[in-house]
Amino acid sequence: MGEEKRWHQHYPKEIPTSLTYDEKPLHAFLEDAASRYAEKKALYFMGKELTYTEVFVQAKKFANYLQGLGVEKGDRVAIMLANTPQSVISYYGALMAGAIVVQTNPLYTERELEHQLNDSGTKVIVCLDILVPRVTNVKNSTPLEHMIVTGIKDYLPFPKNLIYPFIQKKQYNMVVKVEESSDTHVWNSIMEKAEAEYTKVEVDPLEDTALLQYTGGTTGFPKGVILTHRNLVANAKMCEKWIYKMKKGEETILGVLPFFHVYGMTAVMNISIFTGSKMILLPKFDAGDVLKTIHKLKPTIFPGAPTIYIGLLNHPDLKKFDLSSIEACISGSAPLPVDVQEKFEAVTGGKLVEGYGLTESSPVTHANLIYGNRINGSIGLPWPDTDAKILDMETYEEVAVGEKGELAVKGPQVMKGYWNKPEDTENTIKDGWLLTGDIGYMDENGYFYIADRKKDMIIAGGYNIYPREVEEVLYEHEAIQETVVAGIPDPYRGETVKAYVVLKEGFAVTEDELNKYCREKLASYKVPRIYEFREELPKTAVGKILRRKLVDEEKEKVKEEVST
């Protein structure tokens, strides 16, 4: 980036303001790790361990097989898997074959899956056996030519691999039998038959696409974000420099965040392979399982999301587990309540800081310093080689320090654009600056703060209200486990503030009590007018609470009331 920025003064001497990036593709991370840490354990999955050599050999076999199916440079290969060894092997193997990876959420409905396969032009999909019916139902209406099928049991140790089919039958009420054919391929057969050699493909890291990552839109269909090899390499290297006390080849990273989400993919999978760390794979988040895993396997790095940390802190057996191995956590995907941060650090003795990013930036652009000065409630400082500024939302001119506006970022991790959507690309990237859609401000020291999503800001009676501010106050209440605040239609004020609340087990609180509590801490126009108590809140796979889904529910209610 060259010029000195006001946030650079806070960088510890260990973090450079600018980095050097090798002219290598992303999959070189795995080749380098296999060379440097050949017999070191790379993956741990429910008792099964694989070394770096084993992962590399299997990725080469996968690349070989894809090329045998006719996959060429630039063809799209979808990966529809939970966090399993196959998700890592197929990801790097597809890149080795020259393909573009399309990460696909296993929770997608047929409608969502059909859209993504058509939009991306996917040729091959790797999926779990339980997803075969869903993929089969949409196959004929998409460009899909081949389906590679695997199962959780494929990498389970004995006797878990024998028991799992019975668990699967009970859990999903289905017995899966996959017959090999010209367009259906079985993972285990590939690993048995394929050669561990493949035709190397020339890749230009700056220009060539590694990944189509679909944004988790809550309205309409998601857009495909084009991320190059350089985008992903740069963000992993920035992450490694930020956690500069990481010891290469010695860390154990907990993989709870799903790899089909860009944050889990970068902050767990890519950074683990880049640093030669051992990755613990958990196919889904279950607070009890995570606590047992930390207690038993002693991970040192634990990237997560606020709802994950909240779930652990509120587990009834929390005190039975030793979490002291945790040294560093960067929380992403949603604002981190200060109360959660402080409690989690007290329980683990490690550091938990808030970071910030979006799919369009691979994803991380900012984070608080893990080992230096941090400011609670701030998203911290821009990462090395990353520039940021706050723009007026109408003129796009930079605003003064302390003034609110739209956050814009620039750096080597910023996407090339949206797949087949030039207009959307033009509206989102202006002169190389990515418009984030988030309202924030920068203080005089160069620390950045997010007030809210531009589209989530509530305008009630002419006042601008930022849901995050109200949520921070509610999270401080001893009875509240989770909350989200949204603006809902109001005939008089335009919008009014509504809080959706999940209470901690064993706690009770009334609407009147919450109203009184909020009035002591917030200006009257910010206080929620309506409280709704729920058993749970709708969330994405990574644990981000879906505010827009709740708003859409309210709009539907209004429509129904009007029609009746």
Residue 315 and residue 356: Cα distance in Å, rounded?
26
Q: What was the pLDDT predicted at 171?
A: 77
Residue 366 and residue 354: Cα distance in Å, rounded?
9
Q: Say which range, 451-455, 498-502, 529-533, has the weakest mean pLDDT.
A: 451-455
Q: Using an 8 Å Cβ cutoff, are 543 and 305 in contact?
A: yes
Mean pLDDT, residues 463-471: 85
- Nearest Cα to Cα of residue 329 among 276, 267, 377: 267
Question: Does 500 score more than 80 pLDDT?
Answer: yes
What percentage of residues in the chain have a pLDDT greater than 70?
98
Residue 203 and residue 207: Cα distance in Å, rounded?
8
Q: Say which range, 15-24, 307-316, 492-501, 527-536, has the weakest mean pLDDT.
A: 492-501
Q: Which residues are paired to 357 by β-bridges? A: 364
Higher pLDDT, 368 or 217: 368
Phi, psi of 7 (to 5 degrees): -75, -20
Mean pLDDT, residues 313-341: 93
Question: Does 195 score more than 90 pLDDT?
Answer: yes
Question: Does 532 score more than 90 pLDDT?
Answer: yes
Pairing of strands 209-214, 224-228: antiparallel
- Nearest Cα to Cα of residue 280 among 266, 298, 304: 298
Amino acid (one-letter) located at 78: A
CB atoms within 10 A of CB 319: 8
Q: Using an 8 Å Cβ cutoff, are 465 and 487 in contact?
A: yes
Mean pLDDT, residues 464-476: 89
Question: Does 97 score more than 70 pLDDT?
Answer: yes
Q: What was the pLDDT predicted at 116?
A: 95
Q: Using an 8 Å Cβ cutoff, are 351 and 364 in contact?
A: no
Question: Does 176 score more than 80 pLDDT?
Answer: no
Q: What was the pLDDT predicted at 217?
A: 46
Two structure tokens written together for 272: 């683990």
CB atoms within 10 A of CB 157: 11
- pLDDT category, 38, cuts 50, 70, 90? very high
Question: Does 146 score more than 90 pLDDT?
Answer: yes
Phi, psi of 354 (to 5 degrees): -85, 135
Q: What is the pLDDT of residues 387-431, one digit of tens each?
A: 999 999 889 999 999 999 999 999 999 999 999 999 999 999 999
Two structure tokens written together for 537: 């809140």
Q: What was the pLDDT predicted at 216?
A: 56
Q: Using an 8 Å Cβ cutoff, are 420 and 426 in contact?
A: no
Question: Does 372 score more than 60 pLDDT?
Answer: yes
- pTM, to two decimals: 0.86
Q: What was the pLDDT predicted at 561?
A: 74
Q: What is the CA 227 to chain-centroid distance, rounded?
A: 15
Q: What was the pLDDT predicted at 218?
A: 38
- Nearest Cα to Cα of residue 90 among 62, 127, 71: 62
Q: Which residues are paired to 263 by β-bridges? A: none
In this structure, whether the domain defined by 457-563 belongs to CATH 2.102.10.10 is answered with no
Two structure tokens written together for 414: 């910023």
Q: Which residues are paired to 405 by β-bridges? A: 440
Residue 137 and residue 546: Cα distance in Å, rounded?
28
Question: Any residues with CB less than 8 A from the CB of 358 and at least 6 apart, and which?
Answer: 365, 436
Q: Say which range, 104-113, 388-397, 528-537, has the weakest mean pLDDT.
A: 104-113
Kindly report the average pLDDT of the chain as a whole number: 93
Question: Does 85 score more than 80 pLDDT?
Answer: yes
Residue 427 and residue 199: Cα distance in Å, rounded?
39
State the sign of the Cα–Cα–Cα–Cα dihedral 194, 196, 200, 203. Answer: positive
Strand ordering across the sheet containing 530-533? 480-490, 494-503, 530-533
Run of H or E including 308: helix 306-313
- pLDDT category, 489, cuts 50, 70, 90? confident
Q: What is the CA 312 to chain-centroid distance, rounded?
A: 18
DSSP assignment of 210-257 equals: EEEEE---SSS---EEEEEHHHHHHHHHHHHHHTTT--TTT-EEEE-S
Q: Using an 8 Å Cβ cutoff, are 303 and 277 in contact?
A: no
Question: Does 219 score more than 50 pLDDT?
Answer: no
Q: Which residues are paired to 255 by β-bridges? A: 281
